Amino acid sequence: MTMNIETKQQHVEATMRLAPVIPVVIIEDAKHAVPMARALVAGGIPAIEVTLRTPAALDAIRAIAAEVEGAVVGVGTVLTASDLQAAERAGARFAVSPGMSPKLLAAADDSTLPLLPGIATASEAMALFERGYRHLKFFPAVPAGGAKLLGAWASPLPQIRFCPTGGISLATAKDFLSLSNVLCVGGSWLTPGDKLNAGDWAGIEQLAREAAALRA
Protein backbone atom coordinates (compact mmCIF):
# COMPACT_ATOMS: atom_id res chain seq x y z
CA MET A 1 0.00 0.00 0.00
CA THR A 2 1.45 3.38 -0.97
CA MET A 3 1.26 6.40 1.30
CA ASN A 4 0.28 9.80 0.01
CA ILE A 5 2.95 12.48 -0.35
CA GLU A 6 1.89 14.35 2.79
CA THR A 7 2.19 11.23 4.97
CA LYS A 8 5.60 10.48 3.46
CA GLN A 9 6.71 14.05 4.11
CA GLN A 10 5.69 13.70 7.75
CA HIS A 11 7.91 10.61 7.96
CA VAL A 12 10.79 12.52 6.35
CA GLU A 13 10.37 15.40 8.78
CA ALA A 14 10.33 13.06 11.77
CA THR A 15 13.55 11.43 10.52
CA MET A 16 15.22 14.81 9.98
CA ARG A 17 14.35 15.84 13.54
CA LEU A 18 15.85 12.75 15.19
CA ALA A 19 19.32 14.34 15.45
CA PRO A 20 21.21 17.34 14.07
CA VAL A 21 23.25 15.15 11.71
CA ILE A 22 22.38 12.28 9.38
CA PRO A 23 25.61 10.39 8.69
CA VAL A 24 26.24 9.70 5.01
CA VAL A 25 27.92 6.30 4.98
CA ILE A 26 30.00 4.64 2.26
CA ILE A 27 30.44 1.05 3.43
CA GLU A 28 32.83 -1.30 1.70
CA ASP A 29 32.31 -4.36 3.90
CA ALA A 30 28.82 -5.34 5.06
CA LYS A 31 30.20 -6.94 8.22
CA HIS A 32 31.01 -3.44 9.48
CA ALA A 33 27.39 -2.31 9.20
CA VAL A 34 25.95 -3.56 12.48
CA PRO A 35 28.75 -2.48 14.86
CA MET A 36 28.97 0.88 13.06
CA ALA A 37 25.23 1.47 13.39
CA ARG A 38 25.26 0.44 17.05
CA ALA A 39 28.07 2.94 17.69
CA LEU A 40 26.14 5.73 15.97
CA VAL A 41 22.94 4.98 17.89
CA ALA A 42 24.87 4.80 21.17
CA GLY A 43 26.30 8.23 20.38
CA GLY A 44 22.85 9.73 19.83
CA ILE A 45 22.64 9.52 16.03
CA PRO A 46 19.80 7.11 15.07
CA ALA A 47 19.10 8.05 11.43
CA ILE A 48 21.74 6.57 9.12
CA GLU A 49 21.99 7.02 5.35
CA VAL A 50 23.80 4.12 3.68
CA THR A 51 24.71 5.19 0.16
CA LEU A 52 24.35 2.92 -2.86
CA ARG A 53 27.96 3.55 -3.86
CA THR A 54 29.34 0.08 -3.10
CA PRO A 55 28.21 -3.51 -3.70
CA ALA A 56 27.91 -3.96 0.09
CA ALA A 57 25.27 -1.25 0.54
CA LEU A 58 22.07 -3.29 0.33
CA ASP A 59 23.45 -6.05 2.56
CA ALA A 60 24.47 -3.36 5.06
CA ILE A 61 20.97 -1.86 5.04
CA ARG A 62 19.43 -5.30 5.48
CA ALA A 63 21.67 -6.08 8.46
CA ILE A 64 21.10 -2.75 10.20
CA ALA A 65 17.33 -2.95 9.70
CA ALA A 66 17.24 -6.47 11.16
CA GLU A 67 19.76 -6.22 13.99
CA VAL A 68 20.24 -2.68 15.32
CA GLU A 69 17.63 -1.55 17.81
CA GLY A 70 16.97 2.17 17.64
CA ALA A 71 18.47 2.67 14.20
CA VAL A 72 16.45 4.29 11.43
CA VAL A 73 18.32 3.15 8.37
CA GLY A 74 17.88 4.87 5.04
CA VAL A 75 19.33 4.57 1.57
CA GLY A 76 21.30 7.27 -0.23
CA THR A 77 22.48 7.92 -3.78
CA VAL A 78 19.12 6.71 -5.10
CA LEU A 79 19.04 7.33 -8.84
CA THR A 80 16.43 4.97 -10.31
CA ALA A 81 13.16 3.18 -9.63
CA SER A 82 15.04 -0.09 -9.20
CA ASP A 83 17.23 1.54 -6.52
CA LEU A 84 14.10 2.49 -4.60
CA GLN A 85 12.58 -0.96 -4.93
CA ALA A 86 15.76 -2.78 -3.87
CA ALA A 87 16.22 -0.53 -0.84
CA GLU A 88 12.61 -0.98 0.20
CA ARG A 89 13.00 -4.77 0.05
CA ALA A 90 16.20 -4.49 2.12
CA GLY A 91 14.34 -2.70 4.91
CA ALA A 92 15.27 0.95 4.35
CA ARG A 93 12.94 3.41 6.08
CA PHE A 94 13.73 6.48 3.96
CA ALA A 95 15.50 7.31 0.71
CA VAL A 96 17.75 10.19 -0.32
CA SER A 97 18.68 11.24 -3.87
CA PRO A 98 21.38 13.67 -5.04
CA GLY A 99 18.94 15.33 -7.43
CA MET A 100 15.57 14.70 -9.02
CA SER A 101 14.25 13.34 -12.28
CA PRO A 102 10.73 12.76 -13.60
CA LYS A 103 11.19 8.97 -13.58
CA LEU A 104 12.52 8.90 -10.02
CA LEU A 105 9.70 11.11 -8.74
CA ALA A 106 7.14 8.90 -10.47
CA ALA A 107 8.72 5.84 -8.85
CA ALA A 108 8.63 7.59 -5.48
CA ASP A 109 4.90 8.22 -5.94
CA ASP A 110 4.41 4.47 -6.31
CA SER A 111 6.74 3.50 -3.45
CA THR A 112 6.05 3.32 0.26
CA LEU A 113 9.56 4.66 0.87
CA PRO A 114 9.59 8.37 1.83
CA LEU A 115 12.00 10.31 -0.40
CA LEU A 116 14.25 13.23 0.50
CA PRO A 117 15.16 14.52 -2.99
CA GLY A 118 18.18 16.70 -3.68
CA ILE A 119 18.11 20.20 -5.15
CA ALA A 120 20.69 22.90 -5.82
CA THR A 121 18.54 25.81 -7.07
CA ALA A 122 15.44 27.75 -6.05
CA SER A 123 13.70 26.64 -9.26
CA GLU A 124 14.23 22.96 -8.38
CA ALA A 125 12.93 23.61 -4.88
CA MET A 126 9.81 25.29 -6.29
CA ALA A 127 9.20 22.42 -8.73
CA LEU A 128 9.31 19.88 -5.91
CA PHE A 129 7.17 22.07 -3.65
CA GLU A 130 4.51 22.03 -6.37
CA ARG A 131 4.54 18.22 -6.11
CA GLY A 132 4.06 18.31 -2.34
CA TYR A 133 7.66 18.07 -1.17
CA ARG A 134 8.31 20.37 1.80
CA HIS A 135 11.54 18.70 2.94
CA LEU A 136 14.52 18.69 0.59
CA LYS A 137 18.21 17.88 0.54
CA PHE A 138 20.41 20.81 -0.51
CA PHE A 139 23.30 19.27 -2.42
CA PRO A 140 26.18 19.82 -2.85
CA ALA A 141 25.72 22.30 -0.02
CA VAL A 142 29.07 24.04 0.19
CA PRO A 143 29.93 24.18 -3.55
CA ALA A 144 26.35 25.23 -4.42
CA GLY A 145 26.37 28.31 -2.21
CA GLY A 146 26.55 27.17 1.40
CA ALA A 147 24.73 28.61 4.39
CA LYS A 148 24.46 32.07 2.81
CA LEU A 149 22.41 30.75 -0.10
CA LEU A 150 20.14 28.67 2.14
CA GLY A 151 19.65 31.63 4.44
CA ALA A 152 18.64 33.75 1.45
CA TRP A 153 15.93 31.22 0.57
CA ALA A 154 14.31 31.31 4.02
CA SER A 155 12.14 34.35 3.28
CA PRO A 156 10.94 33.59 -0.31
CA LEU A 157 10.57 29.82 0.33
CA PRO A 158 9.29 29.81 3.94
CA GLN A 159 7.43 26.50 3.71
CA ILE A 160 10.49 24.40 2.79
CA ARG A 161 12.94 22.81 5.23
CA PHE A 162 16.34 21.51 4.19
CA CYS A 163 19.00 18.94 4.99
CA PRO A 164 22.16 20.46 3.49
CA THR A 165 24.75 17.83 2.55
CA GLY A 166 28.11 18.02 0.81
CA GLY A 167 31.30 19.54 2.12
CA ILE A 168 30.02 20.06 5.68
CA SER A 169 32.18 19.27 8.71
CA LEU A 170 31.70 19.32 12.48
CA ALA A 171 33.25 22.80 12.47
CA THR A 172 30.89 24.25 9.84
CA ALA A 173 27.68 22.36 10.69
CA LYS A 174 26.48 25.04 13.12
CA ASP A 175 26.54 27.64 10.33
CA PHE A 176 23.77 25.62 8.68
CA LEU A 177 21.95 24.41 11.81
CA SER A 178 21.52 28.01 12.99
CA LEU A 179 19.29 28.73 9.98
CA SER A 180 15.51 28.68 10.47
CA ASN A 181 14.96 26.54 7.37
CA VAL A 182 17.48 23.79 8.25
CA LEU A 183 16.37 20.79 10.34
CA CYS A 184 19.58 18.77 10.10
CA VAL A 185 22.71 18.35 8.01
CA GLY A 186 24.16 15.34 6.22
CA GLY A 187 27.79 14.50 6.83
CA SER A 188 30.32 11.83 5.99
CA TRP A 189 32.73 12.81 8.79
CA LEU A 190 31.02 10.54 11.37
CA THR A 191 32.04 7.31 9.62
CA PRO A 192 35.47 7.88 8.05
CA GLY A 193 36.91 5.01 6.06
CA ASP A 194 39.93 4.60 8.31
CA LYS A 195 37.77 4.08 11.41
CA LEU A 196 35.45 1.69 9.58
CA ASN A 197 38.34 -0.38 8.25
CA ALA A 198 40.03 -0.45 11.66
CA GLY A 199 36.83 -1.39 13.48
CA ASP A 200 37.19 1.69 15.68
CA TRP A 201 33.62 1.66 16.94
CA ALA A 202 34.47 3.67 20.06
CA GLY A 203 35.93 6.36 17.81
CA ILE A 204 32.77 6.44 15.70
CA GLU A 205 30.61 6.62 18.83
CA GLN A 206 32.66 9.63 19.99
CA LEU A 207 32.19 11.35 16.61
CA ALA A 208 28.46 10.66 16.92
CA ARG A 209 28.37 12.19 20.42
CA GLU A 210 30.07 15.34 19.14
CA ALA A 211 27.56 15.57 16.29
CA ALA A 212 24.56 14.96 18.56
CA ALA A 213 25.77 17.78 20.83
CA LEU A 214 25.45 20.29 17.98
CA ARG A 215 21.78 20.70 18.92
CA ALA A 216 22.60 21.59 22.53
Alpha helices by DSSP H, listed for the chain, are 5-16, 33-42, 57-67, 81-90, 102-110, 122-130, 141-144, 146-153, 170-177, 193-198, 201-212
Q: Which residues are marked as active site?
A: 49, 137
**pLDDT (tens place) for every residue of the chain, 216 residues total:** 568 999 999 999 999 999 999 999 999 999 999 999 999 999 999 999 999 999 999 999 999 999 999 999 999 999 999 999 999 999 999 999 999 999 999 999 999 999 999 999 999 999 999 999 999 999 999 999 999 999 999 999 999 999 999 999 999 999 999 999 999 999 999 999 999 999 999 999 999 999 999 986
pLDDT of residue 3: 83
Whether residue 122 contacts residue 153, with contact meaning beta carbons closer than 8 Å, is answered with: yes
* 93 DSSP assignment: S
- 163 CB-side CA count, 13 A: 34
pLDDT of residue 2: 61
Domains and CATH numbers, the chain: 5-209 (3.20.20.70)
pLDDT of residue 133: 98
pTM for this one?
A: 0.97
pLDDT of residue 216: 61
pLDDT of residue 163: 98
